[in-house]
Amino acid sequence: MTTVQTPAPPRTDSARFVRAALGRIGRYVFTGFVIVFFALPVIWLVTAPFDRAPALRLSVPEFTLQNFQTLLDNPYALRSLWNSVLISITTMVIVLVLAALASYALSRVRVPGRDVLLYSLLLLSSIVTGTAAMVPTFVLITELRLIDTHLAVVLVMAGGLLPAAIFILKDFMDNTPKSYEESARVYGASSLQVLRHVVVPIARPGLATIAVWSVVQVWGNFLVPFILLRSPDNFPAAVVMFTFYTEGGQPNLALISAFSLLFSIPVVLLYLFVNRRYGFRFYGGIKR
Amino acid sequence: MTADDGRRRDDAAAPGHDVPTGSDGGQPSPAGGGSVQPVLADEGTTSVPEPEPRPKADATAEVAVINKPTAIGFVAPALGLIGVFMMFPAVWALYLGLTNYRVTGTAAREPEFVGTDNFTRALEDPLFTSSLWITLIFMAFSGVVGQMGLGFTLAWLFRRWRGWTRRTIEVLVIMSWIIPGSVVAFLWRAFLDGEGGTLNSLIPGDVTTEWLLRQPLLAIIVFNIWRGTAFAMLLFDAALNTLPPSHLETAKVSGASTWQTLRDIVFPAVRGHMLTTALLVSMWTFNLFTPFLLTGGGPNYQTEVLAIYVYRVGFGQGDFGFGSAVSAVMLVINLIIALVYFRVLRDRRKKS
């Protein structure tokens, strides 16, 4: 191996030119490959839903909206999307409220072991993943007689999302000035009132982040509802997709394609919203 | 007793604290963009220089706005939920792993304590060891090599591009990351299908290879690279932006090759980010259940990563005791990765 300081060997101009040209061609080929690699699987999502006869293969669609009619006619499709909305919004509200309360208190009160508590929570949440704990979680929910309820999914998801939410929000809270709160307190406002009327408006970007983040996490989650729910009536969109088969045992492509598109649009919109509002880079860091 | 103590101290402290607040309010940070960066900094995933440690002078001021009993009341509901639905299952996994608990039969009503039987059984099960091996290969190739390698390459190539190519690639990569897993899994099943798949129709000749049956492990690895590259790309992009451009210029002027520049200038500068990303990506890949949606763990257990193994023994065979034991093993492996991660994070913070 060469050492770090080795100067580049002198080259003739033509060699350098060829090298540069090859490098440029290589870069174009690579760029083309990357675009094709990332685009190909996903194009189906925008063409097949509008195709008169959707097939697995990509093709130029013969335009129709018939597939969406199929979707409306399916008893489970819209219902599952509604279930997804219900589960994600409920989880989001619980995570938001509980995390705001906890992170505010943890940010403003200095007790010994606070940072240890925060870090061990975060450590714990990265260790105890839905996957690793699926069996005991299922047994716990069975014992609580919550199997096949949305509440079970909400509670398990919220429990898993809360530590990271508290950790992130606490940072936002740390960075909000305390002077207003103190004046509010002096004039006799309760801590809850201070949080609601003083802190929440200031910490809104942080709260919005947590809200979007938890909705996206729950919206796409497959495993938790898959193990905790039984009846198709209760399935959220992520699970119900895998029940869409024709009588012949083939995937019902008309239904699946239209459904996939409807199911994906909300997160894409949320992405656009976050991207415009705060820039995606920062959202990137907290997705798990 | 402590409650009363705290309150009294509160009241005493409150009036006296109008003065020090002034200094705190003197440097207000806009609640908007300014507070965004610390979020990332705490995850250890940003390239933004970590903020200066905040002055500790506000330690006493904090007591003024909320008293301890209220604070406990604020924290309790969150901790309760976390405790019951996250911590308890983890601890319970360790206990259940030592029993022969099953879905049905006598063992369901009165599970017996079987000691470490389940753990020895796991070690003796060739499917468990092969599953562990598959998981490690999957983690190394799709996560560390694939996502990080491709993510870095993209960030490096596009660091100076601002045109439509860069935007297109960014949007595509991020889309593949945020579309729900169920949809993505179906898209790939369609893409790789033997008879009607897009991939085979692109290959010249009459190819009908069932990729998910013939090359299942390769298929889920490529799938996962496609799925997860966005995170590494965004992170390395941010990391490369912190490099002083002059360093790269100097390297260019002195005639260093790309490889030399990367080795001597870029890699040493972003080593911290590399480590952080490697550990996070490893942890996520290790716990990934999505291959199940592509292959169900088959054919012939060839893609049965540990997550699917746990599902099969726990829910497929109804063997909760054994499933819990394997869960416990996964938890321990997660713990090891996480401890290394936090170690690295702490060392980096100390340095900065």
> To the nearest whole angstrom, how far is the Cα of A50 from the nearest Cα of chain B?
16
Would you say residue A148 has pLDDT above 90?
A: yes
- Which is higher by pLDDT, B42 or B335? B335
Q: What's the mean pLDDT when you consider all of chain B?
A: 77
The Cβ-side half-sphere exposure at A153, using a 13 Å CA radius, reads: 31
Under the banding of pLDDT at 50, 70 and 90, the label for residue A5 is low
DSSP B207-230: ----HHHHSHHHHHHHHHHHHHHH
Backbone angles phi, psi at A140, to 5 degrees: -60, -45
Under the banding of pLDDT at 50, 70 and 90, the label for residue A159 is very high
Would you say residue A282 has pLDDT above 50?
A: no
Angle B7-B9-B13 from CA coordinates, rounded to 5°: 115
* Claim to verify: residue B267 and residue B314 sit in the same structural domain: yes
Contact B89 A137 (CB under 8 A): yes
Residue B159, in any domain of the structure: yes
The reported pLDDT for the residue numbered B11 is 37
- The region of weakest confidence among B86-90, B172-176, B208-212 is B208-212
- Which is higher by pLDDT, A265 or B268? A265
Question: Which letter does DSSP use for residue B204 in this model?
Answer: S
Q: What is the mean pLDDT of residues B289-298?
A: 88
d(CA B198, CA B189): 10
* Claim to verify: residue B214 and residue B174 sit in the same structural domain: yes
Would you say residue B30 has pLDDT above 60?
A: no
Residue B17, in any domain of the structure: yes
Q: Are A117 and B87 in contact (CB under 8 A)?
A: no
Q: Which residues of B153-174 are buried (b: 16+ CB within 10 A; e: fewer)?
A: bbbbbbbeeeeebbeebbbbbb
The reported pLDDT for the residue numbered B241 is 83
Under the banding of pLDDT at 50, 70 and 90, the label for residue A82 is very high
d(CA A159, CA A252): 35
Q: Is B172 on the interface with A (CB under 8 A)?
A: yes
DSSP chain A: ---TTPPPPP--HHHHHHHHHHHHHHHHHHHHHHHHHHHHHHHHHHHGGGBSS--SS-----B-SHHHHHHHHSTTHHHHHHHHHHHHHHHHHHHHHHHHHHHHHHHH---TTHHHHHHHHHHHHHHS-TTTTHHHHHHHHHHTT-TT-HHHHHHHHHHHHHHHHHHHHHHHHHTS-SHHHHHHHHTT--HHHHIIIIIHHHTHHHHHHHHHHHHHHHHH--HHHHHH--SGGG--HHHHGGG-B-TTSSB-HHHHHHHHHHHHHHHHHHHHHHHHHH-HHHHHHH--
Q: Is A89 exposed, middle or buried (0-12, 13-18, 19+ CB in 10 A)?
A: middle
Would you say residue A283 has pLDDT above 60?
A: no
Under the banding of pLDDT at 50, 70 and 90, the label for residue A10 is low
Would you say residue B351 has pLDDT above 70?
A: no
DSSP B95-147: HHTTB---SSSHHHHSPPB-TTHHHHHHHH-HHHHHHHHHHHHHIIIIIIIII
DSSP B247-284: HHHHHHHTT--HHHHIIIIIHHHHHHHHHHHHHHHHHH
The reported pLDDT for the residue numbered A288 is 36
The pTM for the full model equals: 0.80
Residue range(s) in chain A whose domain bears CATH number 1.10.3720.10: 76-286
Residue B222: give the domain boundaries.
116-351
Angle A161-A162-A164 from CA coordinates, rounded to 5°: 75
The β-bridge partners of B113 are: B99
CB atoms within 10 A of CB A26: 10
- The region of weakest confidence among B45-54, B88-97, B196-205, B297-306 is B45-54
Q: Are A157 and A218 in contact (CB under 8 A)?
A: yes
- The region of weakest confidence among A21-30, B92-101, B157-166, B276-285 is B157-166
Residue B343, in any domain of the structure: yes
Would you say residue B209 has pLDDT above 70?
A: yes
Chain B residue at shortest CA distance from A114: B75
- Which member of B75, B174, B283 has the closest CB to residue A271? B174
* Claim to verify: residue B148 and residue B267 sit in the same structural domain: yes
The reported pLDDT for the residue numbered A21 is 87
Would you say residue A155 has pLDDT above 90?
A: yes
Residue B105, in any domain of the structure: no
The reported pLDDT for the residue numbered B196 is 79
Q: What's the mean pLDDT when you consider all of chain A?
A: 84
Q: What is the mean pLDDT of residues A120-124?
A: 82
Say whether B205 sits in a helix, a strand or coil: coil
**Which residues, including other chains, have CB under 8 Å from residue B79's CB and lie 6 or more apart?**
A102
Distances (CA, A) of B239 to A81, A216, B8, B154, B261: 38, 25, 48, 13, 16
> To the nearest whole angstrom, how far is the Cα of B309 from the nearest Cα of chain A?
11
> To the nearest whole angstrom, how far is the Cα of A160 from the nearest Cα of chain B?
6
Q: Are A150 and A82 in contact (CB under 8 A)?
A: no
Q: Are A282 and B39 in contact (CB under 8 A)?
A: yes
* Count of domains forming chain B: 2
Q: Which residues of B177-192 are buried (b: 16+ CB within 10 A; e: fewer)?
A: bbbbbbbbbbbbbbbb
d(CA B216, CA B210): 9
The reported pLDDT for the residue numbered B2 is 40
> To the nearest whole angstrom, how far is the Cα of B85 from the nearest Cα of chain A?
5
Contact A285 B323 (CB under 8 A): no
Residue B29, in any domain of the structure: no
> To the nearest whole angstrom, how far is the Cα of A99 from the nearest Cα of chain B?
7
Q: Is the peptide bond before B299 cis (omega within 30 degrees of 0)?
A: yes
The reported pLDDT for the residue numbered B319 is 85
Backbone angles phi, psi at A63, to 5 degrees: -60, 135
The reported pLDDT for the residue numbered B64 is 58
Contact B93 A133 (CB under 8 A): yes
d(CA A11, CA A199): 64
pLDDT tens track for B37-59: 333 333 334 344 444 444 444 44
The reported pLDDT for the residue numbered B271 is 83
Q: Is B156 on the interface with A (CB under 8 A)?
A: no
Q: Is B147 on the interface with A (CB under 8 A)?
A: no
Would you say residue A48 has pLDDT above 90?
A: no
Residue B337, in any domain of the structure: yes
Q: Which residues of B124-139 are buried (b: 16+ CB within 10 A; e: fewer)?
A: eeeebeebbebbbebb
d(CA A147, CA B298): 28
The reported pLDDT for the residue numbered B8 is 37
pLDDT tens track for B51-82: 444 444 444 444 457 778 888 889 899 999 99
Which of A149, B136, A45, A18 lies closest to B128 in space, CA to CA?
B136
Distances (CA, A) of A246 to A13, A242, A284, B24: 66, 12, 38, 66
Distances (CA, A) of B29 to A147, A174, A284, B45: 47, 10, 23, 22
Tally: H helices and E strands in chain B: 21, 0
Q: Is B157 on the interface with A (CB under 8 A)?
A: yes
Residue type, A195: L
The reported pLDDT for the residue numbered B57 is 43
The reported pLDDT for the residue numbered A215 is 92
* Claim to verify: residue B7 and residue B137 sit in the same structural domain: no
The reported pLDDT for the residue numbered B13 is 36
Residue B297, in any domain of the structure: yes
The reported pLDDT for the residue numbered A7 is 54
Contact B310 A102 (CB under 8 A): no
- Most A CBs within 10 A among B5, B7, B10, B35, hence the mutation to make, goes to B35
Q: Tell me, what's the ipTM?
A: 0.84
- Which is higher by pLDDT, A61 or A80? A80
Under the banding of pLDDT at 50, 70 and 90, the label for residue A12 is low
- Which is higher by pLDDT, B227 or B59? B227
Task: Match domain A76-286 to its CATH number in 1.10.3720.10, 2.40.50.140, 1.20.120.140, 3.10.20.30.
Answer: 1.10.3720.10
Q: Is B39 on the interface with A (CB under 8 A)?
A: yes
Q: Is B75 exposed, middle or buried (0-12, 13-18, 19+ CB in 10 A)?
A: buried
The reported pLDDT for the residue numbered B352 is 61
Would you say residue A19 has pLDDT above 70?
A: yes
The reported pLDDT for the residue numbered B320 is 87
- CATH code of residue B229: 1.10.3720.10
Would you say residue B104 has pLDDT above 80?
A: no
